[in-house]
Amino acid sequence: MNIGRDSMTKLINGKEIAQNLRNELKNEINNLRSKTGKVPGLAVVQVGNVAASSVYVKAKTKSAKEVGIDVIDHHLPEKTTEKELLEVVDTLNNQNNVNGILVQLPLPKHINEQVVLDSIHHDKDADGFHPLNVGKLSVASHNDENLLIPCTPYGCLIMLKGLGINLSGKDAVIIGRSNIVGKPMAQLLLKESCTVTIAHSKTQNLKEVCSNADIVVAAVGRPEMVKGSWIKNGAVVIDVGINRIEINVNGEKKNKLVGDVDFVEAEKNASAITPVPFGVGPMTIACLLRNTMIAFKNAQKI
């Protein structure tokens, strides 16, 4: 089945789509403020000073404030114990002005990430990682707008649906089996009536598996692993990967961000493709804000 390729490949602009989603959220939050006198509250918890985490937290905080969400910031020292972090999460679980809780990963090695994520109340799970929310996504018969869904795969689904194609019956291959992207992405596409294959780095004949796909979602964490020759003519490619590689520019070593897909080659075959950066990344943050608003509406019984 071929989705159909235009003479020119469409670049899926995640930055623009995310801005549109934030604009919609801002309008809805303004309406909610008028009706309830309240706005959603997002608690952001960071432990330590990992540079990348600080950049992500700053971006998430800025976007939250842009749409009218109150941000409650908790920046804890590196030496914070697991017990102390769990106490902070428990306090936030019981604060009425907190609707969403985000614990920025990675955590220091002496803290069990899964224990901390599981301690976040499922009604305030801004990331959509809690086992109860994962279970709700699994058993839902359709993509319920009131569910707290993992942000990155939901952002991918929004981009796919924004292309205006009928997803029903399409062959989708997801490369990657993580709890954060691969598995929930499969659930979301199944609910759109796609025929879904989950592949990974150990899949035999991965090239052949991909070459039949109408939709390829790459989330394997290996720079440019998916080659252009793997992409069927007219397929849609969603590249979740973000990898920093070293390149040589005029004899000087420089860092470059690339995805899990060889973009230059894949673009020749794809009907639509996400770039790296400014593809999936901005959608992840926008969907985090969406989850926070959904949690607020659920708490207010709206």
Catalytic residue among 46, 104, 183, 239: 104
- Rounded Cα gap, residues 140 and 156, in angstroms: 19
Q: In the annotation, is 104 catalytic?
A: yes
SS3 of 195, please? strand
Backbone angles phi, psi at 26, to 5 degrees: -60, -45
In degrees and rounded to multiples of 5, residue 205 shows phi and psi of 55, 45
Active-site annotation holder among 46, 124, 125, 127? 127
Q: Which of 46, 60, 125, 214 is catalytic?
A: 60
H or E element that contains 52: helix 51-67
Q: Please check whether residue 101 is in contact with residue 121, taking contact to mean a CB–CB distance below 8 angstroms.
A: yes
- CA dist 12 and 31 (Å) reads 30
| Angle 4-10-13 from CA coordinates, rounded to 5° | 140
**Residue 127 appears among annotated catalytic residues:** yes
Annotation marks residue 95 as catalytic: no
| Angstrom distance (rounded) from CA 22 to CA 68 | 10
Q: How far is CA 43 from CA 47, 60, 73, 162, 166, in A?
A: 13, 11, 6, 30, 37
Report how far residue 122's alpha carbon sits from residue 135's, in angstroms, rounded to the nearest whole number.
11
- Residues labelled catalytic: 60, 104, 127
